[in-house]
Amino acid sequence: MATVTTAPLEALEESWYEPPGLISWFTTVDHKRIGMKYLVTALVFFVFGGIESLIIRAQLAGPNLHVVNPEAYNQLFSMHGVTMMFLFATPVLSGFGNFFVPLMIGARDMAFPRLNAFGYWVFLAAGIFLYSAFLIGHAPDAGWFNYTPLSDAKFAPGINIDFYALGLVFVAISTTVGAINFIVTILKMRAPGMSINRIPIFVWGELAMSFAVVFALPPLTVACVLLELQRRFGFHFFDAGSGGDPLLWQHLFWIFGHPEVYIIVLPALGVVSAIIPTFVRRRMVGYTWIVVAEMATALIGFGVWTHHMFTTGLPQIALSFVSLVSFMITIPSGVQIFAWVATLVAGRPVLKTPMLFVIGFILVFVLGGLSGVMFAAIPFDAQVHDTYFVVAHFHYVMVGAVIFPLFGALYYWLPKMTGKMMDERWGKVSFWTIFVGFNLAFFPMHIAGILGQPRRTYTYPGGLGWAVPNLISSVGSFLLAAGILITFVNWAWSLCRGAAAPNDPWGGDTLEWATSSPPPEYNFETVPTVRSLEPVWDQPELRDGAQPPEKGGRILLGGHLTLSTSMLDGRPRAVVAMPHATAWPLVATVGLLFGFWGVVFGAYLLAGAGALLFAASMVGWYWPKGETQEG
């Protein structure tokens, strides 16, 4: 601090000032506040999806129960899947990404701050749109992958599926703009000296995820648009009678659907690679290998979609190829697991709560990976297709690879975000409750599946051997929920009573630990020059909060400024002026929301009004203000 005199610091604070208070949460373009909003909103949807799953488990706790009626049950499991995939797992890690990618790369914001705000609002609006279907009792009810012809107008005449098709297009807008923002931020805004071999692994994970989003979401968007055209306007794409083909939906959906798994998992794996070095007190083993493995996973993930379609009667030769690629994709996952284990063995692990969640993750992820390899074998897959064995597998992979790293990340990073430490003891209680509850909830599903219990069924008769595993699952799911609740209470408690967090409570290696907790609006008093993969460990001057100019710290006075650097070697290229807080992204989103509501209800005047509001907000958004660079 001593190296920067007070006067420039005041100028910096004035340039980056955002007014406090409630209103500013609606206009902010600060990546940290947007990241916080993403995180909290996604966790609210997580609670919604969780309540849905608890009702499902109550319904399935014993044979022949009628806790809810079958129509409600269909809506519950469909919305559970849609919520957890699109409104929780993808955006929640965007929340951490938004908050921490600019901090980790030493930037002052994301590349497109207003687009960032827009992405958040669209995510929220798409969630409101999908959940508004529940309010009128017509939530999507054909499963999260919504196969035709079940989802065609003939067999699903209500507007339930229209909410699905339009809702997913809506949320895809948010995910796509967010991903492009991450890519540009990571490629162009890294601190001087942060060449590509010095990018933190978490940031690599976000980059790989973002590329997968850019290339994987369009097929889903096309599928949903085609489905809506067919349902609403009598087009023909998926009905065999008029030259369409129901399998077209499955292809389009899974070309998106399998990369989506990696879209969710890659940032979570990045979290693991961020937490491990801090708590074993040594650098990661095999940095390059892990990065290459992440990229390979994102790439190979595009070649395996038909392994979701092994039982649809496709040609044998195509299936054999996909089976091979599906075995192949275990290799990069294995590389990462061995690198983590090697780091754990080579260092001296400190078993704080974040580390416990990471170790829990490795155990669960390996189990989920093992059942995944089993599916790559076509004969086995045919046997357990559409049974609870599949449900067990993807909950091990998805819940295991998202919830465990996510909760580790909450304990690891919330002190930086809120400035308050969480309680360690309750953290450990939460971990063990989640770990036991998780395995109780999902392991018995393997057995129920092998015993033949089909997924998505409303209830089942007694005497098939399914009652015991289902009861254990139901008990486990409530225990899992209790463990999750403990962490939420711990968080709330820390906000009121938690000890103040120092800059670097864990002794971390990446740049977010070089600034205060919570960080100031401008992130760093001087944009640091980086000379190491673990800058906070290797550059002692960073720990004081500001790198002095003679060591390369750039204060960039005279406006809302950040650096543009070269893509490969991080050389400074230009100073870029960033936009200020604005309400236009919110107004644009309101226009979109009314547009989508207008279409789903067939109120095309409303849809037109929404489109006009959106267009008008674009004019307001781009209207020259004089403060930012035109051109």
Partner 1 sequence: MRTKEDPLVPTIPTGVPGERLRSVASGPDAFGWWGMWGLIATESLLFGSLLASYFYLRFRAGAGAWPPAGIHKPELILPLVMSAILWSSSIPVHIADQGIRRGRQAVARFGLLAGFLLGATFLGIQALVEYPKILKEFHPSTNAYGSMFFTITGFHGFHVVVGLLISLWAQMRAWQGAFDEHRHVTIQNFAMYWHFVDVVWVGVLFTVYLSPHL
Which residue stretches of 16-110 are H helix?
24-27, 31-60, 70-82, 90-104
- Residue 166 or 555: the one with the smaller Cβ distance to partner 1 is 555
Which residue's CB is nearer to partner 1, number 197 or number 242? 242
Cβ–Cβ under 8 Å, residues 237 and 244: yes
From the CB of 607, what's the least distance to partner 1, in Å? 15
Burial 10-21 (b: 16+ CB within 10 A, else e): eebeebbeeeee
Nearer to partner 1, 47 or 575 (CB): 575
Closer residue to partner 1 (CB): 192 or 437: 192
CB of 244 to partner 1, least distance (A): 5
Residue 530 or 563: which CB sits closer to partner 1? 563
Give whichever of 19 and 631 is closer to partner 1, judged by the CB atom. 631
- Closest by alpha carbon to 375, among 310, 454, 450? 310
Beta-bridge partner residues of 552: none
List the structure tokens of 232.
């609403």
CB of 209 to partner 1, least distance (A): 14
Q: Give least dist CB 564 to partner 1, A.
A: 5
CA triple 511-515-521, angle to 5 deg: 110
Say if residue 558 is exposed, middle or buried (CB neighbours under 10 Å; 0-12, 13-18, 19+).
exposed
CB atoms within 10 A of CB 123: 29
CB of 499 to partner 1, least distance (A): 34
- Measure the CA–CA gap between 138 and 530, rounded to whole angstroms: 54
Rounded-to-integer distance, Cα 536 and Cα 305, Å: 41
Q: Which of 275, 288, 409 is nearest to 351 (CA)?
A: 275
Which residues lie near partner 1 (CB under 8 A)? 8, 111-112, 115, 176, 179-181, 183-184, 187-189, 214-215, 217-219, 221-223, 226, 229-230, 233-237, 242-245, 248, 251-252, 255, 526, 549-550, 552-558, 561, 563-564, 567, 572-577, 615, 619, 622, 624, 629-631
What's the CA gap between 112 and 29, in Å, rounded? 9
Beta carbon of residue 188, minimum distance to partner 1 (angstroms, whole number) = 6
Q: Closest Cα to residue 437, out of 493, 397, 399, 398?
A: 399
Q: How far is the CB of 622 from partner 1 (least distance, A)?
A: 7
State which residue, 180 or 196, has the beta carbon closest to partner 1. 180
The minimum distance between CB 630 and partner 1, in angstroms, equals 5
Residue 543 has φ and ψ, to the nearest 5°, of -70, -15
Query: Looking at beta carbons only, is 576 or 588 nearer to partner 1?
Result: 576
